Amino acid sequence: MTPTPHQPSPLRSTERRNLRSAVLDLLDTVQLVDLFVAEDTRVPLAVGNARASIAAAMTLVEDAFRTGGRLTYVGAGTSGRLGVLDASECPPTFGTPPDLVQGVIAGGRDALIRSVEGAEDDPLAGARAMDTRGIGPHDVVVGIAASGTTPFVHGALEHAASLGARTVFFSCAEPPEQMVACCDVVIHVDVGPELVTGSTRLKAGTATKLVLNMLTTGAMVRIGKTWGNLMVDVQVTNTKLADRGERIVMEAVGATRIAAREAIAASGGRVRTAIVMLHRGVDAVTADAELERADRHLRPIVGDPPPVAESS
């Protein structure tokens, strides 16, 4: 029997050339902007097509948070930087401890500001990173690989799964079979070829940012980190956030700015606690006890949040 000649694997979607940008270098600046906008409008539609898998991953993250687990992003290059970015925004936005959501990037901290060549090609380094962070059965690890092929991410996910963690693989190209077999959830957001062939910092990067925002924000909302759409666990660590916290308390209970500021100070900077203090007329200790009985949710104590003004 004559052996079947080896067929090269199909070109991954992130490596294919984009017909619409074939004359990219001949466009003027306005034409370039128009083309970027036209291509970027495809991204939310592609994300929407992956809604079921995104929701499934969000549920895993919510379950981890409820059971004392953590969320760890793993990626290389742009994917890794976006994971670190999303993780770093959780403490000021939702009042979470820094280790609840973490970002791991191939090449370490140096790779956040400059390319560390070859770091993404080491699957054992990805596995070691999981051991370093003590990944275990209560945790969720989300591997981000825009092209789907990053060995560092594959190694991290396979080892995380062996440690009992729940695993999610995110890609903008066709997910490899080994990741489909290994992971609990696979998110495939097909944004199509990039304007500059293979440059996944473009549409794939935008899609990644959207999905990561959904995973953390959605899970935080599910565990009660917002009251309606109000950021009631905001950390008042700078002038802008202090003003936001005061405005939330003022709107929540009809307090003056001075009363809101004093309550936030008495609560130790905790906006949610300050709302209960003013609503019930109690001190911070009593307010915190009421929140614990309500699983940290404000609705059972204060009721519905203020209605949104029509002009908003």
Length of the chain: 312
Bridge partners, 144 (sequence order):
75, 170
The pair phi, psi for residue 101, each rounded to 5°, is: -125, 120
DSSP secondary structure string, 131-161?
HHTT--TT-EEEEE-TTS--HHHHHHHHHHH
Identify which of 133, 148, 183, 187 has the alpha carbon closest to the alpha carbon of residue 162: 183
Catalytic residue among 62, 120, 194, 290: 120
Q: Look up 246 and say whether it is catalytic.
A: no
Under DSSP, the state recorded for 50 is: T
H or E segment and range at residue 237: none
- Both tokens of 170, joined, read 């995110």
Q: Look up 158 and say whether it is catalytic.
A: no
Q: Show Cβ contacts of residue 312 under 8 Å, excluding neighbours closer than 6 positions.
A: none
Q: Show Cβ contacts of residue 230 under 8 Å, excluding neighbours closer than 6 positions.
A: 248, 251, 252, 305
Catalytic residue among 89, 174, 251, 262: 89
CA gap 76, 39 in Å, rounded: 24
Q: Show Cβ contacts of residue 187 under 8 Å, excluding neighbours closer than 6 positions.
A: 50, 53, 54, 57, 168, 169, 170, 171, 211
Active site residues: 89, 120
